[in-house]
Amino acid sequence: MPVERWNAERDGEPTERALREKLEARGYSVSCYTYPPGTYFPDHTHAVDKIDAVLSGRFRLILEGEEAVLEAGDCIEVPRGAVHSAEVVGDEPVVSLDAIRG
């Protein structure tokens, strides 16, 4: 599962505005959510293509059996129908951009 890492040299700091603009330029609608420590989303799917992007904190994602931990500026594509779970790692809340494309 490829994680897209933020390139600070090319893109500057991974601010909400910069990450939101990057996702919207790809045709996604973007919402921002904050998940407190201990948040866990069990296996589920979505009927839309989705990108999970992290602004702060650490977010563990298991997608079709593969695991990755996302940190500030990281994005991962979650195709429609893909089984995945997610959880906040550590004591810091996760601020996440949830990008969807119908």
- Tens of pLDDT, residue by residue over 31-55, are 999 999 999 999 999 999 999 999 9
Domain boundaries, the chain: 8-101
33 is written with which tokens?
């959510």
pTM of the model: 0.92
Sign of CA dihedral 79, 80, 84, 87: positive
Mean pLDDT within 79-96:
97
Class level of CATH domain 8-101 = mainly beta
> Is residue 11 very low, low, confident or very high in pLDDT (cuts 50, 70, 90)?
confident
> Is residue 71 very low, low, confident or very high in pLDDT (cuts 50, 70, 90)?
very high
